[in-house]
């Protein structure tokens, strides 16, 4: 393979909803450009892009797969991305390292929920987007209807640059508005015969070309002047206008293809090579210090590793983008994240499982290498003297959780290692060893996402696992002031133990005045503050401790032990054993013994005094509540609203977005465990949702009573 210059490289993320035909289109691209001799099929499990065992088992893409095509003097790097929303992390990765997205739209169904979700992802990353209406040969395909849907949904950004002479089973020709020629195909697709436009669609072609000229001219002042003066632009000028519009994200060109039958692929590759911005035409990426890194092939070598996988018959493969410089095989580089040195012995252009060795790669190119010693996803390898590091990929928050454990307890360590490796391969699989819940929690984007994880663990690593309902990280707090004292006294020969602590607890609220006087019964307690400690809790909330001891009732050297005793109970609240938060404590009196007092005595005294005061302060259990945003078709609104009510959800807002309904609600985490499955069932898989932690709120009285009962029963079982 020749060494392609930066301006000859195009990096494109191939995206689209489930079933839009991305993998079949990829096969046609590879066959059309001579990379493969025979097209594979998803049914046969022999496609280039779906080569992992789990993908063959389930019949859908799980990972984004890199492949390339050489066309008209350019190298086009593609990522075939999964269509299911559960695997959105792969789309996010691909879009961040690419310079444009090519979104396939099913010509039969038009705008679907997957279309909207992926559009929002592209929009949030601010990448150029091109659309291709695929499956135009299908029975129910209707190009004009889909264009109308796209325009209604995404506005006047939608600009057809091709349209079929006929869509449906008769699809075999389309008009290209850039060349104003008609491209005709035989039954097996392949290479087009270029002809003049058929008279039956000539008027439509003129009308759509006029719209294209206007949209292209709007992106460049000189082009607009020429268009206004002459009413025409050359093909090269139209392409220049489209490319500038793509960089500005101000237009979305739409092409016509029949991916499975290899119709329109040859022309699509030509158009992509012309209109997709080269890597050095896109806004520069900034490193972690905020410095823009120019995609300069003559600059210092800097590689960003965005993905690592364990691949069949190869082992660990590390994928990278050349952010700067020109890398040659055998180059020694510094790992900026891990402080180690690495030799990049091999450079490979990638077509799925096939890796083709190349001698060098320039800034903007994407490739892979193997047998690195100490490189992880997100690492940067630099030449000597180059200090760049990168962290520009932001992944979506998880929305589905399960606790996981091995069926054989002896395999706990092995499972931990496997899970960490899985997170390296897909960073949206999050792994947490929860000290609080005493569970290993795996989080992902949905039920299918975690089902795929389980399949891989059991089939690839031979560790049988089971999923459990994750415990909920409740919190405990108090709602009024209370006091208590406790004397710890123990004598068993020799020096004993003695410590007595008097304290008052009350709710912590930011901005409250400092404590002054408390009244319990007929007795007043005046606080004389000598010292104040503000302790932010790791699990959220605050603990504020005031030392109000006067007259030397307790020596200052025992105060740290008292604080530790209070913290013991903050870490295991008396109601449910959950973490406590937002408490203010005044230590105002106590007693000590000149011989028997020690740190453990005051720690135990403080622990028991705090526990008693906490119970007397009208304690409440708090539960995590999440902001949930649901995107759904209007005909499912009633069912979704009814389901939310059953989940103790509170509707916050309803609106419309791109032809879909959007609901914003607050829902307790306890009620979200099976939500992705339920929502899919209610809406026929046409809805999606996202969730983000909002706050801790008081649980209803009946829920608290049930939680306290369950906690007491669990303690009895342990005894």
pLDDT digits (tens, 9 = 90+) for 292-301: 999 999 999 9
What does the alpha-carbon distance between residue 77 and residue 62 come to, in Å, rounded to a whole number? 19
Q: Which of 253, 254, 233, 236 is nearest to 245 (CA)?
A: 253
What does the alpha-carbon distance between residue 40 and residue 23 come to, in Å, rounded to a whole number? 10
Taking only Cα atoms into account, the Rg of the chain, rounded to an integer number of angstroms, comes to 32
Q: Which two tokens stand for residue 226?
A: 């020429």
Domains and CATH numbers, the chain: 6-281 (3.40.50.300), 285-382 (2.40.30.10), 400-471 (3.30.70.870), 476-618 (3.30.230.10), 621-702 (3.30.70.240)
Q: List pLDDT tens digits, range 197-249.
A: 999 999 999 999 999 999 999 988 899 999 898 888 999 999 999 999 999 99
Q: How are the residues of the chain apportioned to helix, strand and coil, as percentages rounded to the nearest 5?
A: 30, 35, 35
Q: What is the mean pLDDT of residues 342-361?
A: 94
Q: Please, what sign has the CA dihedral across residues 578, 581, 584, 587?
A: positive
What angle, rounded to 10 degrees, do the helices at 265-275 and 235-247 form? 70
State CA 450 to chain mean position distance: 14
Q: What is the mean pLDDT of residues 374-382?
A: 95
Q: Which of 15, 72, 26 is nearest to 352 (CA)?
A: 26
Percentage of the chain with pLDDT > 90?
A: 79
Q: What is the mean pLDDT of residues 280-300?
A: 94
Give yes or no for residue 658 having a pLDDT over 80.
no
Percentage of the chain with pLDDT > 70?
A: 99
Confidence band, pLDDT 50/70/90 cuts, at residue 190 = confident
Are 546 and 529 spatial neighbours (Cβ–Cβ below 8 Å)? yes
What does the alpha-carbon distance between residue 560 and residue 597 come to, in Å, rounded to a whole number? 14
Are 48 and 351 spatial neighbours (Cβ–Cβ below 8 Å)? yes
Quick one: 340 exposed, middle or buried, by C-beta within 10 A (0-12, 13-18, 19+)?
Answer: middle
Are 478 and 507 spatial neighbours (Cβ–Cβ below 8 Å)? yes
Q: What is the mean pLDDT of residues 174-192?
A: 93
Are 366 and 320 spatial neighbours (Cβ–Cβ below 8 Å)? yes
- The phi and psi torsions of 6 (rounded to 5 degrees) equal -55, -40
Q: How far apart are the first and last CA of the chain?
A: 71
């Amino acid at each position: 393979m020749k060494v392609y210059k930066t301006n000859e490289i195009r990096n494109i993320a191939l995206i689209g909803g489930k079933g839009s035909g991305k993998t079949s289109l990829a096969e046609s691209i590879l066959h059309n450009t001579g990379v493969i001799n025979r097209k594979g099929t998803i049914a046969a499990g022999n496609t280039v892009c779906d080569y992992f065992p789990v993908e063959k088992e389930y019949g859908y893409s799980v990972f984004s797969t890199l492949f390339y095509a050489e066309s008209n003097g350019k190298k086009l790097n593609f990522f075939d991305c999964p269509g299911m929303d559960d695997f959105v992390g792969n789309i996010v990765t691909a879009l961040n390292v690419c310079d444009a997205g090519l979104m396939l739209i099913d010509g039969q169904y038009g705008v679907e929920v997957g279309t909207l979700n992926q559009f929002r992802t592209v929009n949030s990353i601010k990448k150029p987007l091109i659309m291709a209406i695929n499956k135009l040969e299908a029975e129910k395909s209707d190009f004009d209807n889909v264009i109308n849907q796209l325009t209604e949904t995404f506005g006047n950004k939608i600009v057809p640059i091709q349209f079929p002479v006929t869509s449906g089973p008769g699809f075999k020709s389309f008009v290209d508005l850039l060349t104003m020629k008609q491209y005709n195909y035989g039954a097996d697709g392949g290479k087009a015969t270029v002809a003049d436009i058929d008279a039956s669609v000539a008027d439509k072609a003129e009308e759509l070309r006029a719209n294209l000229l206007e949209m292209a001219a709007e992106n460049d002042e000189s082009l607009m002047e020429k268009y206004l003066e002459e009413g025409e632009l050359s093909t090269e000028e139209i392409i220049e206008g489209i490319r500038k519009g793509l960089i500005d994200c101000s237009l979305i060109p739409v092409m016509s293809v029949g991916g499975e039958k290899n119709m329109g692929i040859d022309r699509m590759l030509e158009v992509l090579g012309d209109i997709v911005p080269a890597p050095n035409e896109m806004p520069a990426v900034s490193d972690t210090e905020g410095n823009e890194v120019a995609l300069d092939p003559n600059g210092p070598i800097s590689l960003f590793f965005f993905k690592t996988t364990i691949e069949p018959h190869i082992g660990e493969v590390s994928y990278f983008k050349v952010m700067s410089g020109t890398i040659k095989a055998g180059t020694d580089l510094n790992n900026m994240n891990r402080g180690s040195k690495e030799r990049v012995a091999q450079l490979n252009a990638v077509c799925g499982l096939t890796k083709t060795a190349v001698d060098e790669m320039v800034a903007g190119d994407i490739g892979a290498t193997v047998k690195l010693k100490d490189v992880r996803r997100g690492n940067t390898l630099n030449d000597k003297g180059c200090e760049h590091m990168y962290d520009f990929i932001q992944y979506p928050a998880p929305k589905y959780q399960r606790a996981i454990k091995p069926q054989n307890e002896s395999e706990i360590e092995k499972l931990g290692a496997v899970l960490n490796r899985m997170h390296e391969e897909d960073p949206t699989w999050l792994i947490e060893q929860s000290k609080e819940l005493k569970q290993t929690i795996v989080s992902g984007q949905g039920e299918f996402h975690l089902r795929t994880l389980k399949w891989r663990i059991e089939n690839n690593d031979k560790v049988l696992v089971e999923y459990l309902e994750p415990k909920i990280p409740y919190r405990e707090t108090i709602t009024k002031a209370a006091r208590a004292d406790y004397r710890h006294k123990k004598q068993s020969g020799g020096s004993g133990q003695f410590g007595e602590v008097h304290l008052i607890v009350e709710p912590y609220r930011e901005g409250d005045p400092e404590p002054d006087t408390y009244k319990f019964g007929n007795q007043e307690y005046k606080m004389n503050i000598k010292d104040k400690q503000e302790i932010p809790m790791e699990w959220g909330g605050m603990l504020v401790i005031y030392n109000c001891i006067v007259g030397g009732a307790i020596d200052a050297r025992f105060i740290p032990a008292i604080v530790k005793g209070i913290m013991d109970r903050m870490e295991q609240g008396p109601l449910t054993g959950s973490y406590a938060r937002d408490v203010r404590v005044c230590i105002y009196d106590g007693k000590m013994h000149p011989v028997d007092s020690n740190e453990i005595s005051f720690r135990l005294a403080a622990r028991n005094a705090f526990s008693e005061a906490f119970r007397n302060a009208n304690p409440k259990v708090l539960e995590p509540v999440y902001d949930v945003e649901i995107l759904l078709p209007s005909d499912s609104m009633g069912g979704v609203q009814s389901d939310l009510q059953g989940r103790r959800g509170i509707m916050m807002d309803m609106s419309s977005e791109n032809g879909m309904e959007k609901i914003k609600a607050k829902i307790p985490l306890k009620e979200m465990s099976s939500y992705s499955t339920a929502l899919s069932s209610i809406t026929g898989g046409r809805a999606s949702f996202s969730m983000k932690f909002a706050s801790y709120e008081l649980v209803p009285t009946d829920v608290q009573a049930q939680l306290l009962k369950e906690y007491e029963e669990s303690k009895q079982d342990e005894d």
